[in-house]
Amino acid sequence: MNDQNKTVWIDMDGTIFDFDGAALEVVPAELRVPKKHFYIANDYSEPLRTQIIEKYNSPGFFANLQIFPGAIEGWQALIDAGYHPRILSSPLSSSPDCVAEKRESLERHLVPVFGQSVLDEAIIDTEKWNYPGLVLIDDRPDIVRDGALAPWKHVLYGWSHMDSVEDAVTTYRLRDWSEIDILLDILSKITEQQ
């Protein structure tokens, strides 16, 4: 495998870190609904929608996101299988602190385990299609491609409560990090197709 075929891009929010759980802290448990939209605020009407948006735009939000169970072990399993996991995450344009805080989260959670290269190699950019690799693991069902053909296959992460996800543009799925064997099988099949 060449370097491009070893690269496994991994999104941060909703894939490594629990964005939705943190955003919904402002919603009382009895008012929470199953997620139907990629943008979690769209699942709620006013005034909850505004409160959710204010929450994820507040200082410290991205720096304090909790890491999903199994994410560290999944990253290690990718390395053990000969892949090169790297972060490829979009900034949230409405949050001026987003990029710095995402880097802070990586430094806190992944760098101590996997080294400084995690942070040095991380890319935070809305144009994910510009970066070659084998796959992108991302919780966004409809990856924006801007008319370009992305040089990777999309593996949809999460959405474990839904058998099919509206607007999904991929046939590959990883419900959570406990399914690392499924992910390794997907990667093997994609590699064979190249």
Per-residue pLDDT reduced to its tens digit, 45-66:
999 999 999 999 999 999 999 9
Q: Are strands 123-124 and 84-89 parallel, antiparallel or unpaired?
A: parallel
Taking the model in full, what pTM does it have? 0.92
User: How far is 120 from 14, CA to CA, in rounded Å?
Assistant: 21
* 76: confidence class by pLDDT, cuts 50, 70, 90: very high
In this prediction, residues 155-165 reach a mean pLDDT of 73
Secondary structure, 3-state, 150-183? CCCEEEEECCCCCCCCCCCCCCEEECCHHHHHHH
Over residues 89-148, the pLDDT tens digits come to 999 999 999 999 999 999 999 999 999 999 999 999 998 988 999 999 999 888 766 656
